[in-house]
Structure 1
Amino acid sequence: MNLPPLKSLPVFESVARLNSFSLAANELNITQSAVSHHIKGLEDYLGELLFIRQGRKLELTNEGRSYLDSISSSLNQIARATENVKGITETKLRLAVYSSFAVYWLIPRLSKLKRQHPNLDLTIEMTFSEPELSDRTADCFITIDKEKRGFDFEWFYTERLFPVCSEGLYQEIASALNTQTEKELEAKLKQSPQLLAQFPLITSYSMYESYAEDWRRWFAEEGQPLPEGAAFHRFSHLMLAHEAATHSLGVALVNDYMFNELDPKDGLVKLPCGTHTATDSFYIAYKHSRRHEPALKQLRHWLRSELNELSLPSHKKIVSG
């Protein structure tokens, strides 16, 4: 078996993760010169530079980044196997989730998770874009990715977008369209969804990486083109669009986890008209080799059970596995 200097591997992982020789030395309780000696020995053995040093700046080379991805998983497996033999059950997990999902859905439920699984030590890694599926990022992910070698993916949620506005704007819309009841307003908007474009529309860039694309797709699902001359308030992120709607700036498209029509708490009202089902779905992703870890199984089961409790009309029930 052709193995590298094994004592150097945890040193390399620490330097790469902390991006610092001195911080790695402090973490490992060794001298900085010892860290340098380990890295040099490993580079000599591999015949490749692992880091590029430019003054105080330290960066992984392409070879170093590839090597880190390969060995970090193995080091974690060795650590977990050792703890299992010693009777220690790992309860620390890092969950990487999108910012809007974290703020509107996950964080309000964390106290419930703590009550059900008090020993689970969960760290939330919030991302504004697609997270890198790697042990260096997190142990478990909520992601729209559904393919990567070595990972398992469980369907979790398919996003639906629907129009909401403040209570005050809702009354203005109902009055402007000469409707007295919600049924009358629903019938008028169902017959002529383009009437909604008479009012300011709020659009976000983050959903489809293009302003007004969310509304274009919503109108298309209603069988109509995006009305010409529609006035838009533009925001970079769905979270900002949601907040803008609460301040009566216009009608926004939000999703199920941002708005609970059975228990609204943000002053928003769902307009009685159609929904747009997004093309991407969310998945719970994790390393296949870690699928039987107790803490990871607890978190996956809890996430699925919480989503089932929402009882959203377009959601299929998830069968726990």
Structure 2
Amino acid sequence: MRSSFPPFACLAAFEAVARRRNFSLAAGELHLTPSAISHQVAKLEQFLDIRLFERTAHSVELTVAGDDYLNRVSGAMAAISAATDNARKGVRNSMHVHSTPSFATLWLMPRLTDFVKEHPSISLSMSASVTHSDFSAGHTDIDIRYGAAHWPQLTVRTIFDEQIMPLASPSFIRRHRIVTPEDLMHVPLIQSTVGVLQWPDWFTAQHIVHTPGSYAYRFDRAFMALDAAVQGLGVAFESTSIGEPHLRKGRLKPVFETGEYLPVQAHFLVYPERHAQRPEVMSFVDWVLERAASEPDLNMRRAGLGRSSRPRAK
């Protein structure tokens, strides 16, 4: 029976050439000759029955099949490298967490010191991007995702119930004399283009027939939309949980004293069920959920606000 796992030396040669785009540089990195590297790559191509590189006299480029294969194996190779490095350093409880950028920047990082203090034996590595982790690559233990929760065959844990409402800087609210929801029809609005809820949802919940024809500013990350609001560029429609650092320091505030918001569940801890067998993974999951539960409606309690407005059916 033919093995489905190619020789690791071939994978190492392929990854080095793909990264360096040069056989000689890859050979120097792996302490081999260029001919040996070429032989390993050719052996891998024969094993896979695909062509991985287009070679010319002056360059080496990945084929479409080669680029796809690199994307699939690079995470696994990084995981092997990290595991090896940890083993050399005597680290036993290592874990890699991937997160959406806004959650990592505004919620997780300000609280991470507490996790480290509570779990000093866990070696934690983190990354952040808008792309969901591919658990089959073997690199990520936990993925913190944003969006509608539909990930079959994965364990999905809701982090918190969020409150989405208009947020702006105090000076912006005073300058534009915003008093009623209708006033938002005449001021610059900031759109988070990937938000689960959008401005039309809020206007509908206020029984206002208004769909913004355009937005003054559009961003595909919540932290950028919030930063724009802090700078007084307009009103953001964002989560008070994610915007908590700005609210706590007074850089932003709910636009309306009644604090009407739309409820949503949009941030989730996601991982394969098999990962739940690892104590360090469950320690992190439990810590995030406990920390989130200990801060319910933090900004609403402080301001004495909080009235849910659910949008009407469209």
State the TM-score, normalizing by the size of structure 2: 0.71
Looking at structure 2, the residues matched to 25 and 171 of structure 1 have their Cα atoms a distance apart, in angstroms, of 64
Moved more, 15-24 or 160-169: 15-24
For 2:285, which of 300, 307, 311 is the aligned residue? 300
Q: Which amino acid aligns with 2:223?
A: M
SS of corresponding position for 2:216: strand
In the alignment, which residue of structure 2 is the partner of 1:319?
A: none
Rounded to whole Å, the distance in 1 between the matches of 2:51 and 2:143 is 31
- Asked whether the equivalents of residues 75 and 139 of structure 2 are also in contact (C-alpha less than 8 Å), the reply is no
Task: Measure the CA separation in 1 of the matches of 2:289 and 2:18.
Answer: 31
Q: What is the RMSD of the two structures over their aligned residues, measured on CA atoms?
A: 4.1
Is this contact kept in 2: 1:120–1:295, CA < 8 A? yes
CA deviation after TM superposition for structure 1 residue 306, in Å: 2.0
For 1:186, the equivalent position in structure 2 comes to none
CA distance in 2, matches of 1:251, 1:59: 45
1:143 to 126, 142, 145: 145
Instruction: Choose the corresponding residue for 1:275, options 241, 261, 274.
Output: 261
> Does 1:130 find its partner at 2:131?
yes
Shift of 1:70: 7.2
Task: Mark the runs of 5 or more structure 1 residues left unpaired by the alignment.
Answer: 178-188, 315-321
- Contact kept, 8 Å, 1:49 with 1:61, in 2: the verdict is no
| Alignment of structure 1 residues 143-182 onto 2, 5 Å | 143-144=145-146, 146-147=149-150, 151-172=154-175, 177=179
User: Aligned residue for 1:201?
Assistant: 189
Matched, 1:45 2:47: yes
Q: Which moved more, 1:9-18 or 1:31-40?
A: 9-18
- Partners of 2:50 and 2:65 within 8 A in 1: no
Distance 1:252 1:51, change over 3 A: same
Partner SS state of residue 253, structure 1: strand
Mean Cα deviation higher: 240-249 or 96-105:
240-249
Shift of 1:243: 1.9
Identify the residue that residue 96 of structure 1 maps to in structure 2. Answer: 98
Alpha-carbon distance in structure 2 between the residues aligned to 1:10 and 1:195: 61
The residue type equivalent to 1:130 in the other structure is T
Residue 290 of structure 1 deviates from its aligned partner by: 3.3
How many correspondences in the alignment?
A: 290
CA distance in 1, matches of 2:43, 2:75: 18
SS across alignment from 1:245: helix
Match of 1:274, as an amino acid? E
SS in 1 for 2:198: helix
Unaligned runs of 5+ in 2: 301-305, 307-314
Match of 1:235 among 210, 215, 218: 218
Q: Measure, in 2, the Cα distance between the counterparts of 1:9 and 1:155.
A: 41
Distance 1:16 1:194, change over 3 A: farther
- Indicate how the Cα distance of structure 1 residues 228 and 61 shifts in structure 2: closer, same or farther if over 3 A, else same: closer
Contact 2:10–2:43 (CA<8 Å) still a contact in 1?
A: no
- Return the letter of the residue paired with 1:34: A
Q: Post-superposition shift, 1:277?
A: 3.4
Is the contact between residue 95 and residue 123 of structure 1 (CA under 8 Å) also seen in structure 2?
Answer: yes
- Distance in 2 of aligned mates of 1:147 and 1:23: 43
Would the aligned equivalents of 1:101 and 1:257 in 2 still touch at CA under 8 Å?
no
Per mean C-alpha deviation after superposition, the further-off stretch among 144-153 and 269-278 is 144-153
Find the aligned partners of 1:274 and 1:242 in 2 and give their Cα distance: 18
Matches within 5 A, 1:39-118: 39-53=41-55, 55-59=58-62, 61-62=64-65, 65-66=68-69, 69=72, 90-118=92-120
Deviation at 1:137, TM superposition (A): 6.6
State the partner residue of 1:317: none
Q: Deviations over 1:41-94 (max 9, x none)?
A: 1222332223444653432543773587379659968x979x99x9x6644433
In the alignment, is the contact (CA less than 8 A) between 2:172 and 2:232 conserved in 1? yes
